[in-house]
């Protein structure tokens, strides 16, 4: 007789919930805080609260009443915290937690289109380009005039952003927080165009196989010209090296032969980090002798190889000179600019 009573009680309890997800309620779910109210794809978001349902496999997080992240698809789901990786499909707006017939309150969340890119504005100006203390290819020294105000990425492009945009990471030492490197010049160009598309900007480069045409009037993201790079690196300095190279540059003597997370050394006077070290940086220009008569927004388009600037974590400090020029090596990354 007791056996039939137990069966009756079990049937009665489960019939109260159409989803057959029985759990003893300990109160309505409540969201108290977020690890970030502004997030981006590939970021980990942590939702803090209480009474998050543990026994409901059908529990989910609903974004804008359209995108559903199931409990089992989260990194973890605990009674007082939930961790999930932000997906490209998750929209800005609001979200709430739902299970059975119960829901939490709606919480606002901003989702950026891609991992953050810090930028600063640098005004037009002029400077002396080149050096008499370096190699022959740094001559002649000439007054160069740059007429465009530009926006510049404060740090070298991270592996996180590069991989999100291109779905590839060529870096030897892989870590989302490190600058990307081992990037070919053409792949850097493609990255610029893809990021411009994300931002709704006009692409700077037209690409036909390996032939690239540079539209200097477009407002999209691009590589700096060689003159722009040296202007940005010098940041008004008439010296050829940073005043305190150990405080502002990563090179072989202080890097341990490893790339470093951007922004750990002192910035230059424009607020830019790692211009002279960490990883080298691609420029638009071809590697060739300076034209002494090309002094207003100079660009060198003719040459077999493209030029990279700045030293890297495996270089001696001699490569940290602002005027140092080099043909490509493997440890080349990206710093972005765009016309303001």
Last residue of a domain, one of 91, 111, 131: 111
Q: Is the dihedral of CA 11, 16, 22, 26 positive or negative?
A: negative
Last residue of a domain, one of 46, 77, 111: 111
Alpha helices, DSSP H, located in the chain: 2-14, 159-166, 185-198, 226-234, 245-248, 252-255
- Whether residues 53 and 124 share a domain: the answer is no
- Whether residues 86 and 130 share a domain: the answer is no
- pLDDT number for residue 26: 54
The answer to the question of residue 16 being in a domain is no
Whether the pTM exceeds 0.85: the reply is yes
Length of the chain, in residues: 340
The answer to the question of residue 304 being in a domain is yes
Neighbours of 25 (CB within 10 A): 9
Contact 124, 228 (CB under 8 A): no
- Whether residues 94 and 182 share a domain: the answer is no
Span 228-240, mean pLDDT? Answer: 97
For the stretch 127-165, pLDDT in tens is 999 998 888 999 999 999 999 999 999 999 999 999 999
42: containing domain: 26-111
- The CATH number of whichever domain residue 182 belongs to comes to 3.90.1580.10
- pLDDT number for residue 213: 97
The answer to the question of residue 315 being in a domain is yes
Would you say residue 20 has pLDDT above 70?
A: no
Where does the pLDDT of residue 57 fall: very low under 50, low under 70, confident under 90, or very high at 90 and above? confident
DSSP single-letter state for residue 19: T
- pLDDT number for residue 329: 79
Measuring CA to CA, which residue among 188, 326, 181 is closest to residue 258?
Answer: 181
- pLDDT number for residue 78: 95
Where does the pLDDT of residue 123 fall: very low under 50, low under 70, confident under 90, or very high at 90 and above? very high
- Whether residues 47 and 171 share a domain: the answer is no
- pLDDT number for residue 28: 82
Residue position matching structure tokens 């490209």? 88
Q: Which two tokens stand for residue 125?
A: 């100006």
CA angle in degrees (0–180, nearest 5) for 239-241-226: 90
- Whether residues 72 and 158 share a domain: the answer is no
Where does the pLDDT of residue 23 fall: very low under 50, low under 70, confident under 90, or very high at 90 and above? very low
The answer to the question of residue 330 being in a domain is yes
Contact 219, 201 (CB under 8 A): yes
- Whether residues 106 and 125 share a domain: the answer is no
- The CATH number of whichever domain residue 48 belongs to comes to 2.60.40.10
- Whether residues 32 and 166 share a domain: the answer is no
For the stretch 71-83, pLDDT in tens is 999 999 999 999 9
Which residues pair with residue 312 across a beta bridge? none
For the stretch 261-293, pLDDT in tens is 999 999 999 999 999 999 999 999 999 999 999
Number of domains in the chain: 2
The answer to the question of residue 178 being in a domain is yes
The answer to the question of residue 15 being in a domain is no
- Whether residues 105 and 135 share a domain: the answer is no
- pLDDT number for residue 10: 37
Would you say residue 201 has pLDDT above 70?
A: yes
Neighbours of 256 (CB within 10 A): 9
- pLDDT number for residue 17: 37
Would you say residue 185 has pLDDT above 90?
A: yes
- Whether residues 148 and 255 share a domain: the answer is yes
Measuring CA to CA, which residue among 240, 242, 224 is closest to residue 309?
Answer: 224
The answer to the question of residue 130 being in a domain is yes
Q: What is the CA radius of gyration of the chain?
A: 27
The answer to the question of residue 83 being in a domain is yes
- Whether residues 80 and 131 share a domain: the answer is no
- pLDDT number for residue 15: 35
- Whether residues 143 and 261 share a domain: the answer is yes
Last residue of a domain, one of 85, 111, 137: 111
- Whether residues 81 and 126 share a domain: the answer is no
pLDDT, greater one: 301 or 3? 301
Neighbours of 29 (CB within 10 A): 20
């Amino acid at each position: 007789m007791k056996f039939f009573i137990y069966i009756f009680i079990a049937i009665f309890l489960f019939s109260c919930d159409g989803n057959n997800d029985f759990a003893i309620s300990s109160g309505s779910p409540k969201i108290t805080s977020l690890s970030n109210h502004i997030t981006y794809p590939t970021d980990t978001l942590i939702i803090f609260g209480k009474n998050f349902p543990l026994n409901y496999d059908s529990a989910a997080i609903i974004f804008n009443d359209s995108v559903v992240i199931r409990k089992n698809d989260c990194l973890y789901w605990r009674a007082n915290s939930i961790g999930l990786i932000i997906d490209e499909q998750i929209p800005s707006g609001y979200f709430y937690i739902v299970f059975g017939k119960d829901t939490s309150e709606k919480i606002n969340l901003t989702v950026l289109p891609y991992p953050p890119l810090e930028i600063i504005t640098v005004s037009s100006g002029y400077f002396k380009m080149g050096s008499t203390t370096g190699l022959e290819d740094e001559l002649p020294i000439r007054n160069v005039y740059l007429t465009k105000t530009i926006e510049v990425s404060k740090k070298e492009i991270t592996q996180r952003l590069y991989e999100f945009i291109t779905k590839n990471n060529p870096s030897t030492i892989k870590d989302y927080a490190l600058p990307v490197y081992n990037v070919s010049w053409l792949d850097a160009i493609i990255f610029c165009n893809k990021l411009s598309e994300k931002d709704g900007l006009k692409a700077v480069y037209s690409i036909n196989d390996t032939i690239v045409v540079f539209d200097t009037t477009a407002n999209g993201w691009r590589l700096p010209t060689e003159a722009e790079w040296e202007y940005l690196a010098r940041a008004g300095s008439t010296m050829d090296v940073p005043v305190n190279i150990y405080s502002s540059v990563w090179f072989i003597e202080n890097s341990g032969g490893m790339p470093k997370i951007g922004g750990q050394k002192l910035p230059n006077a424009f607020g830019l980090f790692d211009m002279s070290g960490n990883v080298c940086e691609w420029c638009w220009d071809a590697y060739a002798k300076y034209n002494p008569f090309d002094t207003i927004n100079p660009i060198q388009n003719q040459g077999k190889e493209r030029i990279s600037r700045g030293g890297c974590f495996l270089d001696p400090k001699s490569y940290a000179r602002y005027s140092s020029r080099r043909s490509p090596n493997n440890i080349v990354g990206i710093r972005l600019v765009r016309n303001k």
